[in-house]
Amino acid sequence: MLEKKPIIFLLIATGVILIGTVVTMIAPFKWINDPKLKIAEVKPYTPLQLEGRDLYIREGCNNCHTQTVRPLLADVERYGDYSKAGEFVYDQPHLWGSRRTGPDLARIGGKYPDAWHYKHMADPQSMVPRSNMPKYAFMQRPLDASLAERKMKALGFPYSQAELDALKGKSEMDAMVAYLQKLGNDIPWRKAARTTVAGDIKNPFRDDRSVLAEGKSIYDKECAQCHGNDLKGGVGPSLADLKQSEADMFKIVFSGSPAGGMPAFGDILGKERVWKVVTYLKSRGH
């Protein structure tokens, strides 16, 4: 029995541990640096984005938000394409996280316009009424550009003096929003995953006033934060005097408007509820 031969047992145990160490700790370093894993579209952070990342860490945002979409149906359906190793080549340390008190942010970049993020950071409940996120209005204070410059030069980041000088006059909020808009926005996943409208585009509730109350309820929950409780606009444009046809409005709500910074609501609401919102909006214009 090996237990009675301690030297042999020790050698075998040491060999097993070394093999496990190579497989679990050393080999992944080679795999993660494999050029085949890199994604050409993923670009380095700008100084402003990098400073925003430091502020994100300083404020402990990674304690409530993950930055990795797992290859599970529930994750992919909610957040978009699952995360790839090549997305994190410029992240040291990575901020994958392990707890989602708030939603995952790996695909937040480009989902909303800058104005949405500024308002959400300053007063989260004004954009998401049920949010338990604290207010970060204090981040509207000026960014310490000289400290940021010293950090980046000390760490040897290859930024030009002109790029570093661009930090002057910026606020901490500017840096945070720039960082959030960077997340997941380099890879072209959103266009490939964009929900499109199929079939006949005809309002099934055109003359059904019984759906107006539900349409207003959906609007108040999903749309009022950007377009205002009175439809007169805010982060988004005014909807008080709509000129678009019902079909055009349905397409915008269902598939979103990337150019205007509006996310798609087709997967969230479904066709029927989108039509109810459109019916409500058109009724307000008459």
Query: pLDDT value at position 234?
Result: 86
pLDDT band at 188 (very low <50, low <70, confident <90, very high): confident
Assign domain 209-284 to its CATH superfamily: Cytochrome c-like domain (1.10.760.10)
CA dihedral for 268, 177, 127, 213, sign (positive or negative): negative
Using DSSP, state whether 262 is helix, strand or coil.
strand
Mean pLDDT of 15-44: 78
- How confident is residue 257, by pLDDT bands cut at 50, 70 and 90? confident
Answer with the residue of higher pLDDT: 222 or 34. 222
Is the dihedral angle over the CA atoms 230, 231, 237, 241 positive or is it negative?
negative
Element counts in the chain: helices (H) and strands (E) = 14, 0
Would you place residue 139 in the very low, low, confident or very high pLDDT band (cuts 50, 70, 90)? very high
Using 50, 70 and 90 to split pLDDT, how confident is the model at 33? low
Structure tokens belonging to residue 49: 């984005």
Q: Tell me which residue of 117, 107, 30 sits closest to 65, measured CA to CA.
A: 107
Highest-confidence segment of 25-34, 112-121, 265-274: 112-121
Q: What is the pLDDT of residue 118?
A: 96
- Calculate the alpha carbon distances from 273 to 19, 24, 26, 212 in Å: 57, 49, 52, 11
- The pLDDT of 110-123, averaged and rounded, is 93
Class for the domain spanning 47-193: mainly alpha
Segments of the chain assigned to CATH 1.10.760.10: 47-193, 209-284
Average pLDDT along the chain? 87
Q: How far apart are CA 67 and CA 48, in angstroms?
A: 19
Q: What is the mean pLDDT of residues 113-136?
A: 93
pLDDT of res. 35: 64
The distance between the two most distant Cα atoms of the chain, rounded to a whole number of Å, is 92
Query: 172: pLDDT confidence band, cut at 50, 70 and 90?
Result: very high
Q: What percent of the chain has pLDDT over 90?
A: 41
Mean pLDDT calculated for residue range 224-242? 86
